[in-house]
Amino acid sequence: MGAKNHITVALAGNPNAGKTSLFNAITGSRQHVGNWPGVTVEKKVGKYTHKGIEIEVVDLPGTYSLTAYSIDEIVARDYIVEERPDVVVHIVDASNLERNLYLTTQLMELGTRVVIALNMVDIAEKRGDVIDIEKMAGFLEIPVVRTIANIGYGVTTLMDEVVKEAQKPEHHEHEIGYGKEIEKALVKLESIIKRDTHLVGIYPLRWIAVKLIEDDENIKERIEFSPVREEIEEFLAEIDTIDFEARMADKRYEAINAVLPQVLKKGEVGMTTSDMIDRVLTNKYLGIPIFLILMWGAFELTFTFATPFMDIIDLVFGHLSGWANENIEPAWLGSLIGDGIFGGVGFVLIFLPNIFILFLMLSFLEDSGYMARAAFIMDKLMYNLGLHGKSFIPLLMGFGCNIPAIMATRTIEDEKDRLITILVNPFISCGARLPVYLLLAGAFFGGQAATVIFFIYIFGIVVAVGSAKLFRSTILPGKPAPFIMELPPYRLPTLRTTVIHMWERGSMYLRKAGTIIFVFAIVIWSLSAFNGDGYIEETEKDIDEGELLVGDGAFEGKGRFTVLEDGEGTFTGTVLETVELKSGTYEKDRYYEGIELMEEEELHGDGTFEGECEFLSDEDGGRYIGEDFTVEESFAADIGHGFGPITSPLGFTWKMNTALVFGFVAKEVVVGSLGVLYGVGEDEDRVSDSMEDDKDFSPLVAFCLMLFTLLYLPCLATVPVIYKETGSVKWTGFSVGYGLVLAWLLAFVVYQVGSLMGY
């Protein structure tokens, strides 16, 4: 075998051992790192060149062994066992050696080339542990390199060892002896398996034998069609595999414990700081109140801290929009830039500060180690509501974005528990929904805005757990499976990592604003500025003698001005026939300035009328300056009106309908759309002022719109993820349908009851 210049390296190890940190340090990527087990749930590939050798590095989900129980572990197991990377870097948490080495024994048995990255040595050493890595490498016959993954310490040395190891042949020499009786059984099994030449080519013989005794599902599947299957099964039926398996596990721990004392000198172990913090934060009585106070605090901060920044951005975009409308020619381009881009995208960007603060909180939650504790604190409550203890983590993550949250359910072993967690996740208010709440509550609830938004958040949670309870008692009956989860030690997150995490996710919002929201702002602008007849524009036209024109604008000439129903206007000029109007009596042939005409009033005159009316020109004809048609007659209005019959019981107008239709793409688009629809053809600099001017837009309607936005549909990007994770069209459809129905029903009840109560 010649020297390889392209090798694949898998990063494997227990959950939270620092695999992704190491991956990032090696490849320069920025994959998600967090201080709780189960952050990584799919494999990630990165490239790195080390001394001319191309290395494909694969980050894997954490796993305790090569037997998989949950989907994330299957990913890790399959990659290591089936894909056979050239080298497995086993990331061992130095501060928890014994348990971590259990996986080492399994990797040894599999016969892959292994290099151990002894990670978190900083923590182990700080508390006084002394680890003799030379001895460790000697005993295990595996190279060991000290690393501190989060600062990139030891990476070069590690990769040196990896490259060296990759050039060696696979070796199975170091294995654990299981004692006479079991060894005899293994030899016998091996001799049977050997006759299946196909299987022998794939895995080491001894490993297959061990896995068969361990009743491993994957291997059992593998021998399904093997010619020696019956013989294997007969043999396995003769021995007590359960007892054998237990003894084998014992032997592995025995082997580890034989090595450990010679390698590791443990420092003082008193009560750790972590345990002391736990005394308080996970206290039987204080746990839940502290959790709620923290959440409330985080919420308050997200809201209040951002306000001044929001105001600044708001003002800037308001001015930009006004400026573009007035100064850019032609007018349609001015409107596209002013109303569409500055109005739509800018409107979404106003909420950037909130989003960043929200993600800052979530990063802190994840990096501190509190995340996993929250699941513990809430376990009893969750259990009573029919949710698995581990479900709490995906629910919390949902406040950021439902997509990673739904992916995070992969660590939940039980299918039903997992499915329920996926189905209820979209009801958790993600970051994209926050701008919708901020906009609507800000415009309609003034000083109460924070309370209203908090209520909406709580409402989402109530719907989520209520739905879980409902599913448990109907379509997915049963009790949540018992759970066990490792709790990471508390760590004070460094400012740097927290800020990086915040930026990673906050910038997603920024990217979205620059791409999808940008595109849809233009789409919605186009739909609202055009109809079948073309662009909605100010026109000037001459009207011939005896012609009738209906319009909203200024009319000049001699003729009859009949104000339309609902309309009004003012006339300046000479009155040609004496009239009695609500505003007074005006005499023939006299000149008046600013006569007010109210609805359905008529005046015969020679001069200028401004307002909405029917103008019938006299002998000389006249001139009209105004809009041909308005946004009310645009395509956007057609779409909105189309949904009118469905949403009018909820108090929604066409503008809201249109915004909701496009909001399916991404919830921020609801904000962007409202920004455009209330911007086009309006004079107000600030769109929220135009919204307040809309008489159909009451606080009650705004509230219902928030509720509806919360519940109605997972966003376009979430639906395929639900499909991928449930693997079922049926459940995906159910998720979408259930949300829609629930959104409608709840908004209906709130609107109708609210209306009756006079809001």
The enclosing H or E element of 586 equals: strand 584-586
Question: Shortest Cβ distance from residue 13 to ligand GTP (Å)?
Answer: 6
Single out the segment in contact with another protein by CB under 8 A; choices: 138-146, 283-291, 350-358, 643-651.
283-291
Residue range at the interface with ligand GTP (CB under 6 A); choices 33-41, 225-233, 387-395, 670-678: 33-41
Q: What is the rounded CA–CA span in Å between residue 346 and residue 327?
A: 18
Contact by Cβ (8 Å): 467, 424: yes
Residue 98's binding partner among Mg ion, another protein, ligand GTP, none (Cβ under 5 to 8 angstroms by kind) is another protein
From 17-25, 175-183, 387-395, 638-646, give the range in contact with ligand GTP by CB under 6 A.
17-25
Query: Taking the complex as a whole, how short is the minimal distance between the CB of residue 25 and ligand GTP, in angstroms?
Result: 9
Is residue 467 part of the contact set for ligand GTP (CB under 6 A)?
Answer: no
- Over the window 564 to 603, marking each residue x when it contacts another protein by CB under 8 A and - when it does not, the resulting string is ----------------------------------------
Identify the DSSP state of 309: H
The single-letter DSSP state of residue 330 is: S
The residue among 100 and 658 lying less far from another protein, judged by its C-beta, is 100
CB of 68 to another protein, least distance (A): 10
Nearest-approach distance from CB 99 to another protein, in angstroms: 4
Task: Find residue 12's DSSP bridge partners.
Answer: 90
Give me the least distance between CB of 311 and ligand GTP, in Å please: 35
Binding marks (x or -) toward another protein, 175..214, rule CB under 8 A? Answer: ---------------------------------------x
The entry of another protein, ligand GTP, Mg ion, none near residue 484 (CB within 5 to 8 angstroms by kind) is another protein
Q: Is 74 in the site for ligand GTP (CB under 6 A)?
A: no
107 lines the binding site for ligand GTP (CB under 6 A): no
Helix (H) or strand (E) holding 507: helix 495-514
According to DSSP, the β-strands at 538-543 and 548-563 are: unpaired
35 binds ligand GTP (CB under 6 A): yes
| Interface pattern 147-176 for ligand GTP (x via CB under 6 A) | -xxx--------------------------
Residues numbered 91-120 forming contacts with another protein, rule: CB under 8 A: 95-96, 98-99, 102-103
Centroid of chain to Cα 131: 41
Of 32 and 641, the one with the shorter C-beta distance to Mg ion is 32
Q: Does 291 bind another protein (CB under 8 A)?
A: no
Tell me if 119 contacts ligand GTP by CB under 6 A.
yes
- Contact indicator for 194, 200 with CB cutoff of 8 Å: yes
Q: Which stretch binds another protein (CB under 8 A): 157-165, 278-286, 570-578, 606-614?
A: 278-286
Backbone conformation region of residue 375, classed left if phi is above 0, alpha if psi is from -120 to 50, else beta: alpha
Name the residues that contact Mg ion, by CB under 5 A: 19-20, 39-40
Q: What does 658 interact with, of another protein, Mg ion, ligand GTP, none (CB < 5 to 8 A by kind)?
A: none
The three-state secondary structure class of 676 is helix
Q: Which residues, numbered 457-476, are part of the site for another protein (CB under 8 A)?
A: none
What residues between 317 and 336 interact with ligand GTP by CB under 6 A?
A: none
Give the DSSP H/E element, type plus range, for residue 109: helix 97-110
Q: How many residues belong to the site for another protein (CB under 8 A)? A: 42
- CB atoms inside a 10 Å sphere around CB 62: 26
Q: Name which of residues 480 to 499 contact another protein (CB under 8 A).
A: 481-487, 489
* DSSP run (H or E) holding 278: helix 273-281
Q: Which residues contact 301 (CB under 8 A, 6 or more apart)?
A: 357, 361
d(Cα 658, Cα 653) in Å, to the nearest integer? Answer: 9
Give the Cα separation of 438 and 654 in Å (integer): 21
Q: Kindly tell me which residue out of 125, 132, 245, 638 binds another protein, with binding defined by CB under 8 A.
A: 245
Q: Could you give phi then psi for residue 484, rounded to 5 degrees?
A: -140, 135
Question: Do 235 and 188 touch, CB atoms closer than 8 A?
Answer: yes
Q: Give Cα separations from 528 to 431, 517, 680 (angstroms).
A: 27, 16, 8
Figure out which of the listed residues 64, 561, 712, 731 binds another protein, where binding follows CB under 8 A: 64
Between CA 586 and CA 461 the distance in angstroms is 65
**Smallest separation, CB 482 to another protein (Å):** 3
Q: Does 16 bind ligand GTP (CB under 6 A)?
A: yes
Q: Is the peptide bond before 289 cis (omega within 30 degrees of 0)?
A: no
Under the binding rule (CB under 8 A), the answer on residue 447 touching another protein is no
Q: Could you please report the per-residue DSSP string of 682-715?
A: ---SSHHHHHHH-TT--HHHHHHHHHHHHHS---
Question: Which CB atom, from 484 or from 756, has the smaller least distance to another protein?
Answer: 484
In contact, 90 and 41? CB cutoff 8 Å: no
Which residues touch 435 (CB under 8 Å, ≥6 apart)? 348, 350, 351, 354, 355, 667, 668, 671
In the complex, minimum distance from the CB of residue 633 to ligand GTP, in angstroms, rounded to a whole number: 55
Q: Which of 8, 27, 40, 429 binds ligand GTP (CB under 6 A)?
A: 40
β-bridge partners, 571: 595, 609
Shortest distance in whole angstroms from residue 640 CB to another protein: 49
Task: Give backbone dihedrals phi and psi of 305, rounded to 5 degrees, phi first.
Answer: -60, -30
Shorter beta-carbon distance to ligand GTP: residue 24 or 528: 24
Distance CA 426, CA 436 (A): 16
Out of Mg ion, ligand GTP, another protein, none, what residue 648 binds, judged by CB under 5 to 8 A for its kind, is none
Q: How far is the CB of 208 from ligand GTP (least distance, A)?
A: 27
Strand 6-13 vs strand 53-59: parallel, antiparallel, or unpaired? parallel
Angle formed at CA 315 by CA 314 and CA 317, multiple of 5 degrees: 70
Query: Contact region for ligand GTP (CB under 6 A) — 96-104, 117-125, 659-667, 746-754?
Result: 117-125
Nearer to ligand GTP, 80 or 656 (CB): 80
CB-based burial label for 256 (10 Å; 0-12, 13-18, 19+): buried
- For residue 751, give Cα distances in angstroms to 171, 667, 688, 744, 759: 71, 21, 22, 10, 9
CB 395 within 8 A of CB 405: yes
343 binds, among another protein, Mg ion, ligand GTP, none (CB under 5 to 8 A by kind): none
* Two tokens, residue 95: 């501060």
Token duo for residue 392: 């709490």
33 is an interface residue for ligand GTP by CB under 6 A: yes
Residue 373 engages another protein in binding (rule: CB under 8 A): yes
What are the residues binding ligand GTP (CB under 6 A)?
Answer: 15-21, 33-35, 37-40, 61-62, 119-120, 122-123, 148-150, 367
What are the residues binding another protein (CB under 8 A)?
Answer: 64-65, 67, 69, 95-96, 98-99, 102-103, 214-215, 242, 245-246, 249-250, 253, 274-275, 278-279, 282-284, 287, 372-373, 375-376, 379-380, 383, 389, 481-487, 489
